[in-house]
Each structure stands twice: as structure tokens, then as C-alpha cells.
Amino acid sequence: MKLWGGRFKGEADAEFARFNASFAFDRRLIEADIEASIAHAEALVDAGVLTKAEAGKISDGLREIQTRARDEAGYFDGRDAEDVHSFVEAELVAAIGDAGYKLHTGRSRNDQVATDLRLFLRGEIDSMCDLICAAQRALVELAENNHDTIIPGYTHLQRAQPILFVHYLLAYYEMLKRDHARLIEARARVNQLPLGAGALAGSGFAIDREAVAKRLGFEGVCENSVDAVSDRDFVIEFIGAASIAMVHLSRLAEDLIIYSTSEFGFIELSDAVSTGSSLMPQKKNPDSLELIRGKAGRVFGHHAAMLATMKGLPLAYNKDMQEDKEALFDTIDTLRGSLKVMTTVLENVRVNDKKTRQAASIGYLNATDLADYLVRKGLEFRNAHELVGRVVMYAIQQGKPLEEISLEDYATFSELFGDDLYASLKLDSSLASKSAIGGTSRERVRDALQKARREIDHG
């Protein structure tokens, strides 16, 4: 039976019926739909609508559909259901007879679909958090295996100051930590129960919504029935959080792509995440990272699409909102794939620490340390900066690094320069001086790495 046959005389146009249908993609909600329906059936017993026996029959029928959906290949094939809700109802009636038609009492597809989507997303957030933790673990392990490596830090992609490679990796660890926290915070707003809101006005039967929420593990109930069926903030918020995570993965991808070029030669990606060229035999391309970078764009697109879809909708439910599903599902698939591939990249990357150290030693990355040296001798920083700028210009003209300029030459720039200036130019003293919280000194970075290790091991 159609979900809404009675008022209609004519048949739906075939093209429109296809356009209207969401079963091809919303079948992904079937587990959630069944869990929510079982909870609803139990609530209908408490409300005096169903007998215990009827509810038991309905639950058994739903469990059977669940098993078939899990195990039976081709179960969904060739079915022309409008959506997952009508599919489940039709299957239920086929399995248990007309009692199945009682299940929809006091419920609308509007509160049903919102409930399904929230249940589904809650589970996806939990598994996404695990994947973020796995990526963080890969960062920490790469850091532990390269604890001595020094790389040039960049600003404007110009060599800036030397930093520990661990420090660089932990920057991404921090970003992923925020991504994880954002998902957990979003989860609390996802985890509210719409069911019992009916089409928009509330359920016509005495459903104990708090009991339903408890059964389904929701933290609370949506307080207003109109809002409950109209709200897709939780979808937009999740895709927003996913977008930020994709920004982070994309920036890491870009760094690693650059670092793996022959021009940099800092790292080598494993064959497992690289491809060759059909034409140029020598090529080893970082397709894995390029795709992560590329796929960030489609997630941002879903975010913009959902904002645009929702912005002009009058309250309450409108069919436009069916568009939420593909945006959400594709975001989940894309973020999940990107996290997994990035984790594999990190687990297998090889670091050339001679190359990175050499790059950190050439290009006047210690000029700031020389200015700091003069400040310690009493010069104002601005003047020290200017003076060292002139020393650098002189050194460039001589074709020498700062440590090869003689003390006599230094003396022509300032009488503050003494023998001890050479110590301040060393990579190690440059690192050691960055000893305030959050800096790249070895002690700070060792502590930060230990803290990260504790966090990933003990949560």
C-alpha cells in the first residue's frame, strides 16, 4: 500500500516518482530506522495503542528485516520503494500482516527521518573519532621515530627558523585534537530525540518521549516539535566540523607533497600510497595526498550546499531537506577515506634527516638568533634587527653563512659582538633558546611528545 494513497485519484508521473525517491541512498539508514521503530512500538504499548503481543510481533518482524538487510545479498535490488521508511513498512506488513500498519501511529516520516539521521550520525561520529585518534597515533609514532630530526620551519614557504620535526608533527596533532573535540561537542547536539514530534505539532498519542530517548541512548528530547522536524543544524554542524578537519588534512597533504619533491627531498612516500606515470618511467607521484587535498573541496561544497538548502525554508518540514542525506553520507565517506589514507601515508613515510638538517643550516635561518644575541648584550631589538639585516646582506655578498664571517668583520658592524656570538649561531642553541611553553626547545618538545603519547594511550 502507498503511504499516502487515499486522497489521490491519479498516478504519480514515472519521472517524478524517480525524482522523488530517496531509497537508492537512504537505505543506508535502515539500521537506525529499525532501532527507532522498535523503540516507538514499545512507546505505543505504554501509550495503550498496541498490545504487548502486537509490539512483540512488530519487533520480531523488524529484527528479521534487519537480519536480511545485513546478510542477504541483493535484498534491496529491484525494489521500487519511495524511501527507507516505506520500504521497512512494506516489508513488515509482508512479514507479519496488517498489524504492521499500526506501527506508524502517532508518528510521521518527518520525526522519523530526523530520528534516523541523528541515530545514524551519532554512530558515525564515534567511528570518525576513532579514525582521528588513529591518525594522531601515526603522527606521534612518526615523531618518536624521528625525535632528533631538525627541519627548516617556513613562513611564506621561505626558510624561517629551524624547528624539530617532532614539533612540526605535533602541530598537526593539535589540529586533529581540536577536530576530535569539535565532533564530540557536535555529538551532544546530534544526540537529541525528535521522535514524538509527529508531523510538526506533536504526537497525537501519549508517547513518553523521555522513555523513548532513554531506550535509544539519546541524551535528551528536542524540546519543540516544530523545531524537532525542521532542524538540520546538526547536519550542517557536522559537515562544518568535517570541513575544518579536511582543511587540516589538506594542509598536511600539501606539506608532504612539497617535502617529497626532488627539490626538497625531505621525505619519501612509500610505494603503497604512490602511483607511477603511464608515460614517464621515472615518476613516483603522491596521488594519495593529492586526492586528500582535492577531496577537501567536495566536503566544503556539501557544507555550502546544506547552508543554501536550508536558508530559505519556511517552517516546518519541506522536501528540500531530503537533500541532506547525500551531502552527509558523502562527507562521512570522504572524511573517513581521507583519514585512513593519511594514516597509511604517515605510517610508511621515510624521512631523510641529513637533507632536512642541511636545509635548516643554509639560508640564514639563524639570523634571528644573532639579533637575539645582540639584545642580550643590551641592544634594542628593532636596532638589532636592522643591524643583523645589514650583516646578512654582507654575508650574501661574500657568499658565506653567518658562522663564517670573521670576528673582525663583525666588529665593523658593532662593538657588542664578541667571540660568544658563534655559539649563538649553532642549530642547537637556536633550538634551546625557544624554551617558553609551546616552543621548539628539545625539553619542551620532549614533554609535548610524552603528553601526546599519554593522551593517545589513555584518552
Phi, psi of 192 (to 5 degrees): -125, 140
Is 85 an active-site residue?
Answer: no
- Comparing CB distances to ligand ARG, the nearer of 23 and 413 is 23
Query: Is residue 22 involved in binding ligand ARG (CB under 6 A)?
Result: yes
- Strands 220-221 and 192-193, sheet pairing: parallel
DSSP state letter for 162: E
To ligand ARG, the closest distance from the beta carbon of 3 in angstroms equals 9
Residue 319 contacts ligand ARG per CB under 6 A: yes
Among 321, 345, 346, 431, binds ligand ARG (CB under 6 A): 321
Identify which of residues 36 and 133 has a Cβ nearer to ligand ARG in the complex. Answer: 36
* Cβ neighbourhood burial of 165 (10 Å; 0-12, 13-18, 19+): buried
Find the catalytic residue in 127, 147, 270, 277. Answer: 277
The residue from 110, 146, 149, 366 that contacts ligand ARG (CB under 6 A) is 110
Smallest distance from the beta carbon of 60 to ligand ARG, in angstroms? 25
Residue 224 CA to residue 170 CA, distance in Å, equals 43
Total Cβ atoms within 10 A of residue 54: 18
Classified as helix, coil or strand, 349 is coil
Among the residue ranges 109-117, 360-368, 377-385, 421-429, the one whose residues contact ligand ARG (CB under 6 A)? 109-117
CA dihedral over 328, 329, 335, 338, signed as positive or negative: negative
Q: Prior bond to 411 cis, omega within 30?
A: no
Instruction: Give the Cα-Cα-Cα angle 382, 367, 421 (nearest 5 degrees).
Output: 95
* Per CB under 6 A, 322 contacts ligand ARG: yes
Minimum CB separation from ligand ARG for residue 104, in Å?
12
Q: Which of 27, 107, 109, 137 binds ligand ARG (CB under 6 A)?
A: 109
Q: Which is nearer to ligand ARG, 173 or 317 (CB)?
A: 317
317 part of the interface to ligand ARG, by CB under 6 A? yes
Question: Is position 113 an interface residue for ligand ARG (rule: CB under 6 A)?
Answer: yes
Q: How many residues does the chain have?
A: 459
CA dist list (Å): 349 to 266, 342, 344: 10, 11, 9
Question: What is the total count of residues that contact ligand ARG (CB under 6 A)?
Answer: 10
Q: Is 277 a catalytic residue?
A: yes
Catalytic sites, residue numbers: 156, 277
Applying CB under 6 A, the residues found at the interface with ligand ARG are 22, 26, 83, 109-110, 113, 317, 319, 321-322
